[in-house]
Amino acid sequence: MPSYTSTQKAAIAQFTSLTQTKDSVAAKQLKSHNWNTAQAVDAYFQSASTSALPKPSNNTAALNKLFDKYRDNPTVEPDAIGIEGSMQYLSDLGLSLEDPVVFAILSELNAPTMGEMTRQGFVEGWQRQRAPDLPAQKSQTLSFRRSLTASPPFFRTVYKSTFRLALTPGQKSLALDTATEYWRILLSPPSLGWNTDRTPWLDWWIEYLSERWKKGVSRDMWEQTGVFVVKSLEDESMNWWSEDGAWPGSLDEFVAFVKEKRGPEGGSADGMEVE
């Protein structure tokens, strides 16, 4: 086995914990990214088809059998799991609808809505994850949960997919109360907590929406809010913000709202200044 420094060994351990891969895969990914764990993890989730990564398994029969177990109406819809079946399946995974990792699972399985799964999405999604049965899927759920906070690309993928999942047929935008509830779930621990040391971003966002935003939430507003979330976590001082940027009006107004909250010296809710 190659000799690694203590720092490199720690990076390998962190990578394998986040991605559930072997040490050899972790070392190869880390070496190619100059031992930067964050960059290596991001690249792993963005490049799952590279030759360095394990190949998906083919357990079609087992996955089809598992899918059949949860179908609501096999005669009328043989290739669909409806609301009751979806609820039972998530329950068997030990999850509730209020758990943000549910959005990660449904995103991976390419579910059309929150209350439905298709055979093709279910089988192909779990094949990619090498999880042909419930125990393996429960294990993969733990990996998804870690990735929501550790991998920005993974979070962005799940976040964007959630808008589609939340829509009802025929809708192009979300009702404000619906979108607010999904934001509460996605932007709070154990998912990516939208709070920094001096700024309670999520609380202020929901307060702003309640007081000053009376419209629905479009796809553009949803997705740009996700971009704003990531940037504000990286730099809460908002040095990256520009009034000339192509942000939706809701976020322009929210920035003004945040500045009002911080006061003339740029402090947070407790009066501290943002460095």
Helix or strand holding residue 118 (H, E) = strand 117-118
Contact of 162 with 107, CB cutoff 8 Å: yes
The mean pLDDT of 227-255, rounded to a whole number, is: 91
pLDDT of residue 47 exceeding 70: no
Q: CB of 37 within 8 A of CB of 44?
A: no
Average pLDDT along the chain: 87
Return the percentage of the chain with pLDDT > 90, whole number: 62
Asked if residue 60 has pLDDT above 50, the reply is yes
> How confident is the model over 263-272, as pLDDT tens digits?
875 554 443 3
**57 vs 120: CA distance, rounded Å:** 15
Answering whether pTM is above 0.85, one says no
φ/ψ of 201, rounded to 5, equals -55, -50
**pLDDT of 275 over the 60 cut:** no
Highest-pLDDT range among 33-42, 137-146, 241-250: 137-146
For 174-219, the pLDDT digits (tens) are: 999 999 999 999 999 999 999 998 899 999 999 999 999 989 999 9
Write the DSSP string, 25-94.
Answer: HHHHHHHHTTT-HHHHHHHHHH-TTSTTSPPPP--HHHHHHHHHHT-S-TTT-TTEE-HHHHHHHHHHTT
CB 192 within 8 Å of CB 238: no
pLDDT tens-digit map of 138-166: 999 999 999 999 888 899 999 999 999 99
> Does the pLDDT at position 48 exceed 60?
no
